[in-house]
Structure 1
Amino acid sequence: MNDVSKDTFKILTEDIPEPTSQGGVSSGKIVHGKLIPPQQQIFLFSADDWEAFVEEWAHYQRTQYKIVTRLSASADMGIDVAGFTDDEGFQGAWDNHQCKHYSNAIAPSTAIPEIGKCIWHASEGRFAPPRKYYFIAPKDCGMSLKKLLLNSADLKSKLFEKWDDWCADSITSTKTIPLEGDFLAYVEAFDFSIFTFKPTLDIIEEHRKTPYFAARFGGGLPDRPSAETPPEEPDPNESRYLQQLLDAYGDHNGQPCADTSALAAWPELVAHFNRQREVFYHAESLRNFARDNVPQGTFEDLQDEVFSGVIEVEGAAHDSGLSRVNAVTQAAAQLPLTANGLISVTKIQDKKGICHQLANDDRLKWVKP
């Protein structure tokens, strides 16, 4: 029986205070919650996602590779993502990126069979030995493997030591590969310094420079550079939309307008012309920004959305081609774009300029027959 008296036993309680304020909360945090850093997100990737991520990274190593390809699992020969530096393919200079997506860091018992597979297929003439063979994994290589990869003599010794246990029966499902004869001589002469690893943080930082980073990891787009100022002399790629503008001015004035010199008599049209070139270059700068920061097709989707938003205005009756230009660009400026990945960096000038890009492609016409 408890010796404590009912009269002396007390339960002390304390009111829970209001949580400390974190200040204002952004709409992004309300919608998406706390952003998970990329180095943690990759732990949630599937094996296919991991290989696709590495492929995205490798594809944009333009200074190193002419072609990047991913082999199917059924015939990979120990090759996941290959980067070729010339037109000779697997018989030329190339790098292999071996992608492992395990819950733990890569151990020697995983890496050495892959190394054995690479050496054996190379000895069979299926490909020239790669220039570099990188192990890549979300949790990197374990310390014991890193030590081996940083010392090619030790790596070679470990492969010889563990060949029968780890390699002989894992290279191909059809037969055991003994380390003997001509193959033994080939392994003895092989350059084991090609085998190394690529730290995951390095790949993430290099992937950050690709158009796929924001789409894969979130966190928003980088700051957008200022739009280029239109050159005094129009560029040849402006020819069609500028001709459409001149046609619209001629339609407005009731007389042909062959070139910009004909606008001198109408200062208000000169100012209008210059403004249209400015917004066109705004849209061109957004096109260039999209090329470097979002997946291919994102900007084209934005153009299609603007087109859908203004085409009924373009097709309506207007007093002149100039009235149509103004009505369409004003309608574009008011479009409530909500879905495209570029909306956070899209300005009113861009939406107007996209109209002239569409006119440049004859998708919009200012003067109707």
Structure 2
Amino acid sequence: MKIDPDSAGIAPPENEPPLNSATAQSGKLLSPDQHLLLITAGDWEDFIKEWAQFQKTKYHLVDRLGGANDYGIDVAGFVTDKGFDGEWDNYQCKFYTGAPLAPNTAIPEIGKLIWHAYDGKISLPRKYYFFAPKDCGPSLKKLLLNSSDLKDKVLEKWDDWCATEITSKQTIELSGEFAKFIDEVDFSIFQYKPRHEVIEDHRKTPYYIIRFGGGLPQRPAAKEPSAEPLKDESRYISQLYEAYSDKENVVITAGNIASYSKLEAHYGRQREAFFHAESLKSFARDSVPDGTFKSLQSEIYSGVIDTCDDEHKHGAARMKAVIDRASAIQLTENGLIQVTKVQDRHGICHQLANEDELTWVPKDD
């Protein structure tokens, strides 16, 4: 019996999109959620450091305290400069392997923190969040969503899970004054932070793209230049006036540039370009790792410096040649390329002029 190869066997997948260059290079990207399910202990440590950068926007101080003698604290967010004497939150985010976080792992951590608060080493936090790469399991979530049930479970399992786990120096008995203390603890402070919320926090850091990919967020519109130049604009604007003066053989200043309509229009466009580049710099600070924008500036500088050093009729011609060259450079490596506009390239030239990295009218001209 002959088998028709076109009608037998496993059918090809349906609705596959055409191959694009990104997929050809890297294959299909894992979602951030899938990524965290597969993350290693070392990568989890790096991920927590990255995630903590967003927490720094919410607290006076964020510090990693996990390790030996950590009092049951992993990452602490202090609301004020008073440390444990003021309000603070605890994030328990150790790398728990295997299954999702379960009560027999979480409750000893709760017990440790409560004991050290009773012992006067720390104060009880305002909130205490559990999260882990594989999230909290259903049984732990149910306890954390019902503070009275959580308290009952801690008391029930104290001897089994907590008494000998808090410190190697002694067994912590649930009795006497300590029993009274734990009875007064508000167990509603203990909560869980779902993995998707942790990812959303991480999305607000400059490290999200380099870890998870998926493209840069939408870039906000650049601010319009202020009516009067800002202090931070002084040097590149001085260089503009020097270039105009060199071209016209007359001193051009803010007081008389209106008499030169083309120069005035050009001056306005250069300020707009500078503000574009400044907005890209701000966007980079919030969206990509440190050094990414500086690397873009360096690449443009390398592409235009020979043009800047060439012979030119006057400073304005030199400036135009440099800006034209910046527009033509093939930029392919920097992570900001997909959101970089022509105005940004022009503006980066003025940023470089603002730092005297580029000079339109050299002193020996």
Normalized against structure 2, the TM-score is what?
0.91
Q: Alignment partner for residue 178 of structure 2, among 143, 158, 183?
A: 183
Matched, 1:43 2:68: no
Runs of 5+ unmatched residues, structure 1: 1-9
Tell me which amino acid in the other structure corresponds to 2:106: A
Distance change in 2, residues 1:207/1:19 (3 Å): closer
Structure 1 residue aligned with 2:214: 219
Residue 93 of structure 1 corresponds to which residue in structure 2? 87
Asked if structure 1 preserves the Cα contact closer than 8 Å seen for 2:107 and 2:162, the reply is: yes
Residue identity matched to 2:93: C
Q: Deviations over 1:268-325 (max 9, x none)?
A: 3222222211211211121122122222332222222222222232233322211221
Instruction: Give the aligned partner of residue 134 of structure 2.
Output: 139
Counterpart for residue 129 of structure 1: 124
Alignment-derived partner of residue 165 in structure 1 = 160
The residue number in structure 1 matching 2:189 is 194
Q: 2:60 aligns with which of 66, 69, 72?
A: 66
Structure-2 residue corresponding to 1:305: 299
Aligned residues: 359
Q: Give 1:270's aligned residue.
A: 264
Residues 50 and 207 in structure 2, CA contact (< 8 A), matched pair in contact too: yes
Question: 8 Å contact 2:53–2:205 — kept in the other structure?
Answer: no
Instruction: List gaps (5 residues or longer) in structure 2.
Output: none
In the TM superposition, residue 18 of structure 1 has moved relative to its aligned partner by 7.4
In the alignment, the residues of structure 1 paired with residue 358 and residue 4 of structure 2 have an alpha-carbon distance, to the nearest angstrom, of 73
Question: Contact 2:55–2:62 at 8 Å: present in 1 too?
Answer: no
Greater Rg over alpha carbons, structure: 1
Matched-pair contact (CA < 8 Å) for 1:57–1:206: yes
**How far did 1:65 drift?**
1.4
In structure 2, distance between residues paired with 1:242 and 1:291: 24
Written as runs of structure 1 = structure 2, the 5 A alignment for 1:76-91 is 76-91=70-85
Name the structure 1 match of 2:241.
246
How many Å apart are 1:130 and its aligned residue? 0.7
Output one character per residue of 1:150-193: Cα deviation in whole Å (capped at 9) or x when no partner. Answer: 22222122112212221122112333222233322322222222
CA distance in 2, matches of 1:51, 1:130: 23
Counterpart position of 1:256: 251
Paired with 2:225 and 2:291, the residues of 1 have a C-alpha distance of 25
* Identity percentage of aligned residues: 54
1:332 has 2:323 as partner: no
Matched, 1:295 2:286: no
**Aligned-residue CA RMSD (Å):** 2.2
User: What secondary structure does 2:5 align onto?
Assistant: coil
Aligned to 1:7: none
Indicate which of 15, 18, 35 corresponds to 2:6: 15
CA contact (8 A) 2:312 2:318 kept: yes
Equivalent residue letter for 1:12: I
